[in-house]
Amino acid sequence: MELEEEFSKNRVKLKRTKKSGTVFLVMYALYLLVALLTFFSAAMTADTELLISGFCIVGTAAAGIFCVLTKNNWFGVAAVVITVVQFLISALMNDFITQLVFTGVGYAFVILVIYLTMVNNNSYHRLEQQYGFPNFEVKQAMYDLDKQQRQIKDPYAVKKEEIEKRNASISGMEEL
């Protein structure tokens, strides 16, 4: 009964983790749309700052998407670094206080989403280490245990195989 409760809790956690991963994936896809709009705006105004921001946004969104899909948090770290670099570049090209007030909230939101993605990945990795990981079904766990038990030979079966091997090698000698 305890195994069923643990499996049901883990199944719910896994479902929640996968669902939030999908939400994060959609958010990064929307961020790619922001990059497209930034590139369009840069093309219309011939502004190099917007062009650099567009490339940084694409880098952040791509790293975030890879972070969600591969469950590798190093991509999340790269996304945070790219976002901070983007903020510093735009702050150096404009007034720092103005950038902090007007766009700091947006950068903070992006970093928050990346952080939540990394937390989501950590919970997925914790679930990976639990017994019965991919399915968390009691029947599957019992089947796996039975399969392992069938592969373990008792000492009598091992001794019988050794005797049969010896007999087989001796019978080959008689033919010579």
Together in a domain, 42 and 73: yes
pTM, two decimal places: 0.72
Residues 148, 105 within the same domain: no
Same domain, 25 and 88: yes
Domain count, the chain: 2
Distance CA 70, CA 133 (A): 17
pLDDT value at residue 73: 92
Same-domain status, 50 and 74: yes
165 in the same domain as 85: no
Q: What letter does residue 51 receive in the DSSP assignment? A: H
Q: Report mean pLDDT in 10-residue bins for the chain, 176 residues.
A: 78 90 93 88 84 89 93 93 89 76 83 94 89 72 70 75 80 55
Q: Are residues 66 and 95 in the same domain?
A: yes
Which residue type is seen at 135? N
Domain range for 10 is: 2-136
63 with 111, same domain: the answer is yes
Q: Let me know if 176 is exposed, middle or buried by CB neighbors in 10 A (0-12, 13-18, 19+).
A: exposed
Q: What percent helix, strand, coil does the chain show, rounded to 5?
A: 90, 0, 10
